[in-house]
Structure 1
């Protein structure tokens, strides 16, 4: 169905498309790929074609470390608390929730088509996009598509794809990523033949865990407790690679002492059998990524043959990160530790610095604005993110002016995607929290408030593995952090997160303006000035939850930021000292 198309390359001077033509975009989105366990080091084609020829953003973050909420954020430019897609399945998430919130008409492919682009996509779009609901309604905005559908999404050797408005087709016995590779190249051929600027999304399942349930064989779904999670399944040609490779033994890998808060701090140290299994799980992830690496090489080759490479942006990222053994946790995501939220983002394209590493702070809310800016489309006023600069001058300027914060949020459960060993349960149901990262040359902090009232603060400058929760009574906390008294820093972080947990649009990008409307505070460093001590010491609203819930329910979320309420307790002349 998707064989090569015999065409002569369309060549022009300088090896690219005609000068002034809108650029093409190829967007490669893996599933659950880590940055902190060094998966990119095992992908030679990604290294050769993307990292060496583009820019790696080493401080790129997802804002919700879970597949569906993160993907909706990617394509809408909005944080999960503003999409109301906060889990992977109904009633709080999945494709049906995406549709019910009116987002099927308000996301990236629709906007790209309005800007004159043809849009193509193959692979996983959202969770709960299934053989039952793919046509009720069809996903909007795609010129041509070939979606990987539930409940077969995570079955590497029994995938089901659905092209355009055709019925689903089973590819039992074929490796899912190899099937996708053929479809991706076929869509690229279609895009070239059409002769218009295009967006091509390629979303392989690797390196997500393999999932199976007896209910799946009939196309039915199953409760998470009934699903068999196992290590990813690589293509046969990759099955024996990397023998002896293990999860990096960092300081936070299966540590002797507990860390974090809430359910994480209650975990026992893993047995050697569990560690051995997790090493196997890790190697299977690396093997499964080899098929993705080959896709990168084949897409580069096809773009080169068509004379399109020089006018094409190639963006490589993932929906969320992953942990295996860190903080004694079984394979999964859904936490706010660096392993789960700090993820790969690589961009190659016209004007993008080659072989460069950027340390500006970027998030998934920034992706949609970035892509619209690339194609010359107007940005939406309701974006929660800020376009990412992709030129040397823009990146240099961003070091001086770009914000330093990342908002992180999660609702519902945390899963165990490995074997159930050491009495480690399949699900932890109390995993609702709000978190914040603040990063500059002066400080590198992680602050989190759980729905059960637990608090966390980590100083990654001195504790990059986030092993010491400075707010836990069992830890010895320093009197100062980030050059200021600990309690003063916590007060600022809590107020900042209080704004961000319910922010919208500009407030998400420039939250300090809500706390300091005079415009004299743009960073934590500014806010730590002693002149603001009275303001923060007397601020009456702190982050708290009314109760823990499995998804976003407003009356469970605790107090919401309102500037008039925040300042009503102060002297009418508050503006003179804020």
Structure 2
């Protein structure tokens, strides 16, 4: 547990569990000399023992104890691999000798044109840097192999205890990771797909075999999913909904969006990290990831703390390298003469700037949402219930309405969450009513109907 240390482990003891054995600082990320603290015992060092293997062993111990009780139990198993020093278990040190960072379209690009000024400052990698991070990547894979062993151990114990038919097993992560995408040194704190797309696998009673659900979900959906699987009524203050993973219930997809935000610096990893990062103070952002029911919209929309904007059509541009966003400040609202390149930019059959105005308004609601507002944000903008998706919002009737909304604005780039710098939120949105269809504001904002 980060910031749970040998000095404060008992001030107070962690609550909420019947039994615990935590990796604690300063040994949390030291693979062969980890420090752990169990229940109310003093911390202990584990020289010569590989921490991922120790965590696997303790998980088995806990399961054995829990299964003997005959009561339902919940167990969290959290190894640190492949964090930190990327140290593999000795038995895995020579694996993956030919592995290299995947060379996708966004790996160490020759030119960065339309991205934020922050990304544009990143230098192109030379061969020395590329070779170093290829080895960094290989070491991460090797350290992750012990996590594979952990999964085998845990699942095997579930089977041995004869509780497989009544047990749900979930495998997930806290974040993704980038190495070289958009020229970024190793790290994890950006809004790009490599960082925010994480695995979520589940097996257990009523979960269909080999089913892949391509819906946007987030950590806010995990608790509602667990409640639903356990037959517990959902709480009104949940910011998420159960994931549609069961075959014994008629679950329907109820949202198309994921809201992501980050306050602070993108901390680079590896020996070349600091020199590759010209600045680390511009990484605060608000982000919307949206995938429509029919996948005609597959979008990433980012508003950076410098109030720069990025919009990517991930169907056409999976590497997220062709930013089609407009600058709300550079383009005068009264300008009815759209630049030629703007008239040719389309997403899902709609003009990209029209899509962007809708996304900005939706993110305006989501960035300060609570409870059902997070699940059904369109109802804040359209209380009459006529709009429940981006496709609904793209109606021509709403051209002026969305161009008249306040835009998301940051008050500055800072190293932590400062509410005063949030800018407009859901309380500031304009609510739809039919008078917008004929309002003179069309002439003010230049929102004529373009076909």
TM-score by length of 1: 0.70
1:271–1:422 CA contact under 8 A, matched in 2: no
Alignment of 1:456-535 (within 5 A): 456-471=310-325, 478-535=344-401
Cα deviation for residue 408 of structure 1 reads: 0.7
Task: Find the partner of 2:412 among 547, 561, 568.
Answer: 547
Cα deviation for residue 537 of structure 1 reads: 2.2
Q: How far apart, in 1, do the equivalents of 2:46 and 2:438 lie?
A: 67
1:361–1:402 CA contact under 8 A, matched in 2: no
Name the structure 1 match of 2:336: none
Task: Find the partner of 1:294 among 134, 137, 149.
Answer: 149
* 1:146 is aligned to 2:21: yes
Deviations 1:152-188 (A, max 9, x none): 1111122111000111111122211111111111111
Q: How far apart, in 1, do the equivalents of 2:228 and 2:40 lie?
A: 30
Name the structure 1 match of 2:162: 307
1:321–1:342 CA contact under 8 A, matched in 2: yes
Name the structure 2 match of 1:135: 10
SS at match of 1:414: coil
Cα deviation for residue 503 of structure 1 reads: 0.7
Name the structure 1 match of 2:427: 562
Unaligned runs of 5+ in 2: 328-339, 440-451
Name the structure 2 match of 1:282: 137
In the superposition, relative to structure 1, how do residues 543 and 242 fare at CA in structure 2: closer, same or farther (>3 Å)?
same
- Of the two structures, which has the highest relative contact order with CA contacts closer than 8 Å and spacing of 6 or more? 1
In the superposition, relative to structure 1, how do residues 406 and 315 fare at CA in structure 2: closer, same or farther (>3 Å)?
same
Cα deviation for residue 262 of structure 1 reads: 3.4
Q: How far apart, in 1, do the equivalents of 2:76 and 2:254 lie?
A: 28
Alignment of 1:167-186 (within 5 A): 167-186=42-61
Cα deviation for residue 294 of structure 1 reads: 1.0
Name the structure 1 match of 2:330: none
1:452–1:545 CA contact under 8 A, matched in 2: yes
In the superposition, relative to structure 1, how do residues 431 and 190 fare at CA in structure 2: closer, same or farther (>3 Å)?
same
Name the structure 1 match of 2:178: 323
Alignment of 1:217-228 (within 5 A): none
In the superposition, relative to structure 1, how do residues 143 and 503 fare at CA in structure 2: closer, same or farther (>3 Å)?
same
Alignment of 1:67-466 (within 5 A): 126-210=1-85, 232-258=86-112, 260-392=115-247, 394=249, 397-398=251-252, 401-420=253-272, 423-425=275-277, 428-440=280-292, 441-466=295-320
Cα deviation for residue 292 of structure 1 reads: 1.0
Deviations 1:308-339 (A, max 9, x none): 01110000000000001111111110001000
Deviations 1:513-554 (A, max 9, x none): 001100011111000000111211222x11001122222211
Deviations 1:247-280 (A, max 9, x none): 1111111111126313212111111111111111
Deviations 1:442-477 (A, max 9, x none): 11111111111111011111110001111378x966
In the superposition, relative to structure 1, how do residues 513 and 303 fare at CA in structure 2: closer, same or farther (>3 Å)?
same
Cα deviation for residue 209 of structure 1 reads: 2.5
Q: How far apart, in 1, do the equivalents of 2:345 and 2:59 lie?
A: 55
Cα deviation for residue 425 of structure 1 reads: 3.9
Q: How far apart, in 1, do the equivalents of 2:258 and 2:150 lie?
A: 31
SS at match of 1:385: coil
Name the structure 1 match of 2:448: none
Q: How far apart, in 2, do the equivalents of 1:127 and 1:313 lie?
A: 27
How many equivalent residue pairs? 423
Q: How far apart, in 1, do the equivalents of 2:216 and 2:247 lie?
A: 16
Name the structure 2 match of 1:59: none
In the superposition, relative to structure 1, how do residues 393 and 534 fare at CA in structure 2: closer, same or farther (>3 Å)?
farther
In the superposition, relative to structure 1, how do residues 349 and 575 fare at CA in structure 2: closer, same or farther (>3 Å)?
farther
Cα deviation for residue 479 of structure 1 reads: 2.9
Q: Relative to total residues, which structure has the larger strand share, 1 or 2?
A: 1
TM-score by length of 2: 0.89
Tell which structure's C-alpha radius of gyration is larger: 2
1:453–1:544 CA contact under 8 A, matched in 2: yes
Cα deviation for residue 293 of structure 1 reads: 0.9
1:369–1:379 CA contact under 8 A, matched in 2: yes
Q: How far apart, in 1, do the equivalents of 2:277 and 2:119 lie?
A: 12
2:284–2:305 CA contact under 8 A, matched in 1: yes
Cα deviation for residue 438 of structure 1 reads: 1.1
SS at match of 2:52: helix
1:420–1:426 CA contact under 8 A, matched in 2: no
In the superposition, relative to structure 1, how do residues 325 and 571 fare at CA in structure 2: closer, same or farther (>3 Å)?
closer
Unaligned runs of 5+ in 1: 1-125, 211-231
In the superposition, relative to structure 1, how do residues 287 and 190 fare at CA in structure 2: closer, same or farther (>3 Å)?
same
Q: How far apart, in 2, do the equivalents of 1:542 and 1:304 lie?
A: 54
Q: How far apart, in 2, do the equivalents of 1:448 and 1:509 lie?
A: 20
SS at match of 1:199: coil
The two structures, once aligned, show a CA RMSD in angstroms of: 2.2
In the superposition, relative to structure 1, how do residues 377 and 571 fare at CA in structure 2: closer, same or farther (>3 Å)?
closer
In the superposition, relative to structure 1, how do residues 491 and 426 fare at CA in structure 2: closer, same or farther (>3 Å)?
closer
